[in-house]
């Protein structure tokens, strides 16, 4: 809430959730910290990979979610394994505080040579380069209030594939700003990633539309100004 007068939420999805429990107070949708477009911006892929020490060849599928049940890395790894089993030259990159568990799950799936996972990146200097290094960013969540990872990826002009859940439905529109798949469905998730990788022109078109959406709706200064303006309101 803010000053005891109402609520600030990140998405329409969360507004609907809060409204179930409070039909009286105002609910304001403000993406609070937003996306810093000065840091999250398109960059040269080859140079970004070289800077971050990533493979020069092959396609990189990037995931920056923490390892938690609602983030569903199990389905993500299952979907990625399907691509590897097809003989594709692909890598899965994860940056998170739970990277050791991510690596352990990858080893158990026989993907140790195709999965790269290390600790969370510096959000201003390193993380934008990780996005720029990728061919597609994937968010396989079973629940999501908004989903800033896909917004950061789109700001960097990187195509996204996301679960059709929660706040992700408001930003990743299938056929417009990315691809979606039902939560928990590894086959459909793999299919969406496959299409994104195999149709680079369409992927670029959707990423460009997504970047425009992020610029219009989620720029960090605008989000902060909206929050500041709301907190400046005094009850009469």
Residue pair 126/145 in contact (Cβ under 8 Å)? The answer is no
**Residues 101, 104, 110: CA angle, nearest 5 degrees:** 145
Q: What is the mean pLDDT of residues 130-150?
A: 96
Counting beta carbons within 10 angstroms of the beta carbon of residue 41, is it exposed (0 to 12), middle (13 to 18) or buried (19 or more)? middle
Q: Is residue 223 pLDDT above 90, yes or no?
A: no
In this structure, the chain runs to a length of 236
Give the helix ranges, DSSP H, for 24-98. 45-52, 73-85
Residue 234 in this model has a pLDDT that exceeds 80: no
Find all residues with CB under 8 Å of 187, minimum gap 6, and list them: 79, 82
pLDDT tens per residue, range 163-177: 999 999 999 999 999
Q: pLDDT, tens digit, for every residue of 54-66?
A: 999 999 999 988 8
Is pLDDT above 60 for 185?
Answer: yes
């Amino acid at each position: 809430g803010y000053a005891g007068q109402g609520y600030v939420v990140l998405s329409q999805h969360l507004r609907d959730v809060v409204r179930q429990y409070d039909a009286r107070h105002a609910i304001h949708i403000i993406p609070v910290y937003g996306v810093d477009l000065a840091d999250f911006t398109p960059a040269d892929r080859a140079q970004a990979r070289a800077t971050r020490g990533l493979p020069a060849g092959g396609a990189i599928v990037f995931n920056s979610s923490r390892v938690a049940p609602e983030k569903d890395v199990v389905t993500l790894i299952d979907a990625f394994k399907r691509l590897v089993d097809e003989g594709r030259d692909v890598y899965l990159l994860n940056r998170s505080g739970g990277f050791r568990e991510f690596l352990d799950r990858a080893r158990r799936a026989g993907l140790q040579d195709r999965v790269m996972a290390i600790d969370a990146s510096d959000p201003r200097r390193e993380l934008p380069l990780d996005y720029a290094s990728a061919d597609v960013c994937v968010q396989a969540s079973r629940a999501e209030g908004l989903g800033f990872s896909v917004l950061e990826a789109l700001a960097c002009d990187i195509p996204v594939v996301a679960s059709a859940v929660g706040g992700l439905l408001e930003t990743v529109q299938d056929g417009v700003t990315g691809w979606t798949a039902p939560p928990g469905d590894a086959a459909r998730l793999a299919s969406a990633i496959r299409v994104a990788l195999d149709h680079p022109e369409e992927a670029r078109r959707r990423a460009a539309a997504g970047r425009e959406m992020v610029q219009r709706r989620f720029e960090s200064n605008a989000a902060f100004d909206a929050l500041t303006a709301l907190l400046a309101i005094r009850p009469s």
